[in-house]
Amino acid sequence: MITQLSAAELAKKIASKEISCAEALDAHLDRIEKLDEQYGCFLAVDRERAYEDAKSAQAIVDRGEAGPLTGVPLAVKDNISTDGIETTCASKILKGYIPPFDATVVTKSKAAGMVILGKTNLDEFAMGTSTENSAYKITRNPWDTTRAPGGSSGGSAACVSAELAPLALGSDTGGSIRQPASLCGIVGFKPTYGRCSRYGLVAFGSSLDQIGPLTRTVEDAALLAEVTSGHDPMDSTSIEMAPISSANLKNGSLKGLKAALPKELFADAINSGVRAQIESAIEVLKNEGVEFTEVSIPSIEYGVTTYYIIAPAEASSNLARFDGIRYGPRSEGKGHINVVERTRAEGFGHEVKARIMIGTYALSAGYYDAFYLRAQQVRALMKQEFDKVYAEYDFILSPTSPVTAFKLGELVDDPLALKLLDFCTIPANMGGMPGISLNCGLAEGLPVGLQLLGAPLQDEKLLQIAYGVEQSLPNATQRPQIP
């Protein structure tokens, strides 16, 4: 079946003309039509535009110029701008907003002949860990539809897991690519900060945000990272480097690699089912010749606390632009201030408002030094501690999430518990380093994600290691039972 193929396999069949770009698109659109009511992955699907993209892709194929992802349908998280397709960030405040431009990652995907399938659900403005903060719909985990897909890129993760799309783009500020990938049993890759342009990504925490792929194989993640990364003058934090190369993805060996196991990422909070799967993966990798050493990175303990100051502080500034004047719907009111107040009161959901208030507070006179400045100092310390580990080790291994997919509704009334789940993923954003999650087995029938972290700018090396790990783990690419 077309929808079961990996993106790399599908692209090969398209390049050899065994499958046309329109057929590849049809297969996925049909499946979305039949099943997305059940899963709730997509906020928008623009069939007409998708067929236009497929036509341009077919022209590339017919000229004999097909690349490694030409003709492959791509789902895009709805905080990434798409020219002509509504982009809401799953917020009422952007309802009906149609960007007049494509994010750089979308421009690059189209140039590579990819076909934009639609926009996926997320926690409002990417703030959350379960996708339940969407103003529009609930997304369900394909492994068990009573459970959350994780978040905030829950729609992207669930649609790839349920084979509604071969691959998707997400964004990761504190774990939003890796954690939903983990809960949905797929691969999620956050590149080094600055390797993938943020131009056109609706900003949440600008110093932490990074776009990256959600896929069913490490190879697909590497291919999509290659297509979407590279220097972009439109993003002042974009690094002047060539795109992430997949050329040597399969040429590495795990033998003799040194891996660090930070004891703080194996804290008691890791549930026993998750721990068992990670430990058995470590055993497999030892047999492949990886040398493991337990290390300590003390600042990790302060990761969640400091992240939940820095991210809201940046968000409070970034979200000031949503005032009902420039984008989206405008509430009725008397005078400018009243209109803006009402628009923001009616347009933002609870979690977003809470973060704007926390962030504004942390930045305000008298509190800046106590909160924001201190958080930045911890961040700098954390980066130093990680750099020391990377000077000695090739990579860091840990669980991605301390738990498997939890029930929908289970944690909505406990935002603190939900935030504490982020402790394994936050360090990669604080230190700008690349991180990847891949499936390593099941605990009580639910996928367990293994996280690998690498030194900043060593994206290629990390992907190569992840490919080796995927090949050696017996359960890395197992699929849920889906219709």
Looking at the annotation, which residues are catalytic? 77, 152, 176
Q: If binding is defined by CB under 6 A, does position 311 make contact with ligand GLN?
A: yes
Q: Are 239 and 192 in contact (CB under 8 A)?
A: yes
Contact 254, 472 (CB under 8 A): yes
Amino acid at 158: A
Q: Does 121 bind ligand GLN (CB under 6 A)?
A: no
The answer to whether residue 80 forms part of the interface with ligand GLN (CB under 6 A) is no
**Which of 88-96, 172-180, 323-331, 333-341 is the region at the interface with ligand GLN (rule: CB under 6 A)?**
172-180
Buried b (16+ CB within 10 A) or exposed e, 321-343: ebbbeebbebbeeeeeeebbebb
Q: Which of residues 93-112 bind ligand GLN (CB under 6 A)?
A: none
Q: Does 173 bind ligand GLN (CB under 6 A)?
A: yes
Q: Which residues contact 247 (CB under 8 A, 6 or more apart)?
A: none
152 forms part of the interface with ligand GLN (CB under 6 A): yes
Residue among 225 and 426 whose Cβ is closer to ligand GLN? 426
DSSP 3-state of 206:
coil
Closest CA to 172 of 235, 215, 129, 139: 129
**Maximum distance among all alpha carbons in the chain?**
70
Shortest distance in whole angstroms from residue 393 CB to ligand GLN: 25
Among 73, 128, 431, 454, binds ligand GLN (CB under 6 A): 128
Nearer to ligand GLN, 3 or 192 (CB): 192
Q: Which stretch binds ligand GLN (CB under 6 A): 122-130, 402-410, 433-441, 468-476?
A: 122-130
**Of the listed pieces 54-62, 170-178, 249-257, 444-452, which binds ligand GLN according to CB under 6 A?**
170-178
Least CB distance to ligand GLN at residue 447 (A)? 18
Buried b (16+ CB within 10 A) or exposed e, 23-54: ebbbbbbebbeebbeebbbbbebbeebbeebb
Q: Tokens 């982009």 appear where?
A: 87
Query: Min. distance of Cβ 72 from ligand GLN in angstroms?
Result: 25
> 314, 422, 460, 470: which one contacts ligand GLN (CB under 6 A)?
422
Count of chain residues binding ligand GLN (CB under 6 A): 13
Closest by Cα among 273, 214, 211 to 406: 273
Distances in whole angstroms, Cα of residue 5 to Cα of each of 160, 194, 279, 352: 11, 31, 30, 38
For 196, half-sphere exposure in the C-beta direction (CA atoms, 13 angstrom radius) is 35
End-to-end CA separation in angstroms for the chain = 12
Helical ranges in 235-334 per DSSP H? 272-287, 303-318
Smallest separation, CB 472 to ligand GLN (Å) = 29
Other Cβ atoms less than 10 A from the Cβ of 272: the count is 8
Region of 1-9, 25-33, 123-131, 267-275 interacting with ligand GLN (CB under 6 A): 123-131
Nearer to ligand GLN, 7 or 148 (CB): 148
Site for ligand GLN contains 176 (CB under 6 A): yes
Is the preceding peptide bond at 152 cis, omega within 30 degrees of 0?
A: yes
Quote the least distance from Cβ 83 to ligand GLN, whole Å: 23
- Per CB under 6 A, the list member of 71, 175, 200, 349 interacting with ligand GLN is 175
Which 8-state DSSP code applies to residue 1?
-
Cα 225-228-230 angle, rounded to 5 deg: 95
Cβ of residue 463: shortest distance to ligand GLN, in angstroms? Answer: 20
- Residue 126 found at the interface with ligand GLN (CB under 6 A): yes
Q: Does 210 bind ligand GLN (CB under 6 A)?
A: no
SS3 label, residue 190 = strand
- When the beta carbons of 66 and 319 are compared against ligand GLN, the nearer one is 319
190's tokens: 């956050």
Stretch of residues binding ligand GLN (CB under 6 A), selected from 85-93, 126-134, 263-271, 375-383: 126-134
Bridge partner list, 294: 261
The binder of ligand GLN chosen from 3, 58, 88, 129 (CB under 6 A): 129
Candidate residues 36, 102, 132, 172; the one interacting with ligand GLN per rule CB under 6 A: 172
Among 25, 60, 61, 127, binds ligand GLN (CB under 6 A): 127
**Shortest spacing between CB 141 and ligand GLN, in angstroms:** 16
Number of H helices, E strands in the chain: 15, 11
Under rule CB under 6 A, residue 460 binds ligand GLN: no
- How far apart are CB 378 and ligand GLN at their closest, in Å? 17
DSSP string, 139-177: --BTTBTTB---SSSHHHHHHHHTTSSSEEEEEESSSTT
Q: Which of 174, 399, 427, 454 binds ligand GLN (CB under 6 A)?
A: 174
Nearest distance from C-beta of residue 400 to ligand GLN, angstroms: 12
Where along the sequence are the contacts to ligand GLN (CB under 6 A)?
A: 126-129, 152, 172-176, 204, 311, 422
